[in-house]
């Protein structure tokens, strides 16, 4: 149990991974949306998402060519709340994927 907590805290210690988790606080998002939100290159965002997925913090699902992520570890929500991490989404205009268009750019 202690080692799981250590791994969770290590994952949260990276600023971009923390931003990704804050963005996923409200529900699932596609990789292209997260890439636009972080203003980072897609391979870098995918690398951070893979780290969180491999740590058991995130789960993904595929829909055609798109990959969507959501928080799978409920402890993350409590930690983000305790940290006072902002979890509101800013409007993204650089993401025109069907998921973002359907949700009206969060």
pTM over 0.85: no
Nearest alpha-carbon partner for 33 in 103, 90, 97, 89: 97
Exposed e or buried b for every residue in 61-91, given b needs 16+ CB within 10 A? eeeeeebbbebebeebeeebeeeeeeeebee
Count CA atoms within 13 Å of residue 11 on its CB side. 27
Q: What number is the average pLDDT over the span 89-97?
A: 64
Write the DSSP symbol of residue 33.
Answer: H
pLDDT in tens, 4-28: 788 888 888 899 999 999 999 888 9
| CATH level 3 topology of 2-102 | Arc Repressor Mutant, subunit A (1.10.10)
**Residue 13 DSSP symbol:** T
Among the listed residues 27, 38, 95, the one whose alpha carbon sits nearest the alpha carbon of residue 47: 38
Predicted confidence (pLDDT) per residue in 40-50, tens digit: 999 999 999 99
User: What is the band of 105 on the pLDDT scale with cuts at 50, 70, 90?
Assistant: very low
Residue 89 in this model has a pLDDT that exceeds 90: no
The full set of domain ranges for the chain reads 2-102
pLDDT in tens, 74-87: 889 888 888 886 66
Distance CA 84, CA 102 (A): 29
């Amino acid at each position: 149990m202690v080692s799981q907590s250590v791994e969770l805290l290590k994952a949260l210690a990276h600023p971009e991974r923390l931003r990704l988790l804050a963005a996923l606080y409200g529900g699932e998002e596609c990789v292209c949306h997260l890439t636009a939100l972080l203003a980072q290159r897609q391979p870098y965002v995918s690398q951070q998402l893979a780290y969180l997925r491999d740590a058991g913090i995130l789960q993904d699902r595929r829909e055609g060519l798109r990959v969507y992520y959501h928080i799978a570890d409920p402890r993350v929500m409590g930690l983000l709340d305790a940290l006072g991490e902002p979890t509101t989404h800013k409007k993204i205009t650089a993401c025109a994927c069907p998921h973002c268009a359907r949700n009206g750019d969060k």
